[in-house]
A and B are shown apart, each in its own frame.
Chain A
Amino acid sequence: MSQFELQHVTKRFPTVTALDDVSFSFQRGEFFVLLGPTGAGKTTTLRIIAGLEKHDSGTVILDGQEVSTHTPAERDVAFVFQQYSLYPTMTVYDNLAFPLRSPLRNTPEDVIKVKVEEAAEKLRITQLLKRKTAQLSGGEMQRVAIGRAIVRNPRLFLMDEPLSNLDAKLRESLRVELKHLQKTQGSTTLFVTHDQVEALTMADRIAVLDKGRIAQQGTPDEIYDRPANTFVAQLVGTPRINLLPAARANGTVRVRGSCVAVPAPRASCWASAPRTCARLRAGPAAPG
């Protein structure tokens, strides 16, 4: 059985079904990415897992436990948002220490100090510990926000587009850092993004969401090489996949209006689809 699992989760808002029978699962230590365009239901999924939103039906399992009745605090997940949501009047140190000073945890100050310094070192923000967060750059603030999540070793990290507000260069470098950190810590992460490059480069596995439904689940290789439908095919890859209307004839697939023909593999699969789409990625081409 998978340790983290959504089973048939449905969530309806008054005018729209945000999630329609969504199921996916991942293992402890995995970096799992939910990829989809705006409005696909990614953030709603995270909020349901965190307990910030109640689903209408289905089951949520965290670390092997059904948690549908648990409060957000009992679920022990850490949330990193797109907006950094730090306390601007506090120093970086106090921001990092904040979750440990929660009355529920009652951690002694010397233990807090060790943990804060450890987290700061991992994120290379040791030199910023005494600064007020209002004086930091966007990239530094997001490092502090991530630091505040890792300081307390939760059972699951939920990250909602944490890199979207950063400029391209910074996003690139923080992406590498985050992935390296996740692997060295062995932490379980559910990462939400609309950016296919982030998904391909960071994920162990990806679930693609389209209008509240799972379109495909798989490794980055599977999603890129064998997209389940034209939506997924067009979502990943830059430049975009080429989709050409084509027809099958005499064991080949012939692109309409051109003389390009490729051998048709697995003839049986095509029997019911006389018109189809040939797909060619930039790079090695393969009939799909």
Chain B
Amino acid sequence: MATIELQKVEKKFAEAYAVKPLDLTIKDGEFVVLLGPSGCGKTTTLRMISGLETVTSGKILLNGKEVTWRHPSERDMAFVFQFYALYSHLSVRQNIAFPLQAQGVKNDEIERRVKEVVDILRIPHLLRARPGKLSGGDQQRVALARALVRKPAAFLMDEPLGALDAELRESMRAEIKNLHVAQHATTVYVTHDQIEAMAMGDRIVVMSKAEVQQVGTPIEVYYNPANLFVARFIGSPGMNLVKGQYAGGSVSLHGGNRYSVPPAWTSRLGSALGGAPDVILGFRPEAARVSPQGALNGEVYATDMYGGHTVLHVNINENEIVHIRSDRQSSYPMGTKVRFDIDPAMVRFFDPRTEQAVRGENPPSAAAEVS
């Protein structure tokens, strides 16, 4: 059981910010993902929470009590690393029992708790093996078991699936998520993989260049990105972002396309842009639909078959390419002229000067957008 609170926590190495002042409250039982490219400050943040790294200023509270200057061992948090950090000369059983022995827990209690966690992680058959003989996935299961056996107040995980191959990563993702649901333990999880973040997080903290860009549920960061960085970083492919000029209720794009702004936005857009015409039109690949009557046009640059669906890359102006998610059957040869529309509920606008999203007056609820 743990609530973790960060109050204006920052970290500087010499004069450079590794993490700019950051406020974040992680609720009890919540699964929070720190997401961003390498060097964005996510691991430093996690290490400050654990106590492996000191803060330059700010406060860290655990269940309302300040722990900013407490030793890692006094914070009752278990760390899981990308590299499993198992003792190669000890058996799996000894590895898992290790933290309990260090705490002086009685042998029969150790026995009981080890059995409990290996059952949860479905590795009882591995108890006698040496870690070196195990696959990457099984080694990471052992590392998770060793973290779990302590019943810590919180789990801190630093790219625990980063070293595994794609297939295994996918199945371990579901296992960790299940584990979290069953244990209801507060978890802070660091990754650079946006798919992992979307699939696992209750909330995602998107970071870039030492700074928090957005905090929100996966649906919020996906459908209502706060700025251009989040719009590009989340999604595969990322959000389509097309420069244009706004005037008289429509946006003219380079190359002659003209997009009629939905009425819900027209009253807001002009003032939000401060009267300047420059605007960036944003839409997710699945927000666009190819149709013969579509208002926008372009030429098929390439088509990607993904099995379940197809992604059309459409050139709308001298190598300005937008991505349109489409059903399996729509495979068009390169060079085909196509027309498409954008779902008015899923269009977004950004101010190119500030790179921030223009907020709608009544942003449609996330649930309505998904349906």
Contacts and interface: CB of A to CB of B under 8 A. Distances in A.
B111 interface: no
Contacts of A226: none
B308 A179 contact: no
Interface stretch (A75-83, A150-158, A235-243): A235-243
A200 B306 contact: yes
Contacts of B167: 240
A35 to B, nearest CB: 13
A168 B196 CA distance: 13
Contacts of A224: 305, 307
B321 A183 contact: no
B334 A168 contact: no
B343 interface: no
Interface in A225-280: 236-240
A172 B238 CA distance: 10
B308 A281 contact: yes
Nearest to A201: B304
Contacts of B232: 169
Given A169-B238, A172-B236, A237 B307 contact: yes
B237 interface: yes
Contacts of B141: none
- Interface size band for B: 20 to 34
B308 A283 contact: yes
A180 B301 contact: yes
Contacts of B166: 195, 238
A147 interface: no
Given A197-B306, A200-B305, A201-B306, A180 B170 contact: no
Interface string B294-326: 000000011011111001010000010100000
Nearest to A168: B236
Nearest to B237: A172
A134 interface: no
Given A180-B301, A180-B302, A200 B170 contact: no
Interface residues of A, number: 26
A265 B236 CA distance: 37
Contacts of B193: 168
A237 B170 contact: no
A220 interface: yes
A41 to B, nearest CB: 19
Contacts of A286: none
B308 to A, nearest CB: 5
A39 to B, nearest CB: 13
Interface in A182-227: 183-184, 195, 197, 200-202, 220-221, 224
B334 A238 contact: no
A202 B308 CA distance: 15
Nearest to A241: B307
Contacts of A239: 170
A201 B236 CA distance: 14
B29 to A, nearest CB: 26
Contacts of A282: 308
A176 interface: yes
Given A169-B238, A176-B321, A240-B167, A221 B305 contact: yes
Contacts of A240: 167, 170
Contacts of B308: 237, 281-283
B312 to A, nearest CB: 11
Nearest to B171: A240
A237 B304 CA distance: 13
A197 B304 CA distance: 9
B313 A176 contact: yes
B304 A238 contact: no
A239 B238 CA distance: 20
Interface in B71-96: none
Contact of B170 (A183, A195, A238): A238
A236 B301 contact: no
Nearest to B38: A167
A221 B303 CA distance: 13
A176 B301 contact: yes
A207 to B, nearest CB: 16
Interface in B258-297: none
B307 A183 contact: no
A202 B305 CA distance: 8
Contacts of B305: 200-201, 220-221, 224
B302 A176 contact: yes
A168 B38 CA distance: 13
A20 B351 CA distance: 59
B237 A179 contact: no
Q: Which of B236, B301, B302, B307 has the most CB of A within 10 A?
A: B307
A184 B167 CA distance: 34
A124 B308 CA distance: 32
Interface of A: 124, 168-169, 172, 175-176, 179-180, 183-184, 195, 197, 200-202, 220-221, 224, 236-240, 281-283
29 contacts: A124-B319, A169-B232, A169-B238, A172-B236, A175-B304, A176-B301, A176-B304, A176-B313, A179-B302, A180-B301, A180-B334, A183-B302, A184-B334, A195-B166, A200-B305, A200-B307, A201-B304, A220-B305, A220-B307, A224-B307, A236-B307, A237-B307, A237-B308, A238-B166, A238-B170, A239-B170, A240-B167, A240-B170, A281-B307
The 5 A-B pairs with the shortest beta carbon distances in the complex, nearest first, are: A201-B304, A224-B307, A283-B308, A220-B305, A180-B302
Interface of B: 166-167, 170, 193, 232, 236-238, 301-302, 304-308, 311, 313, 319, 321, 334
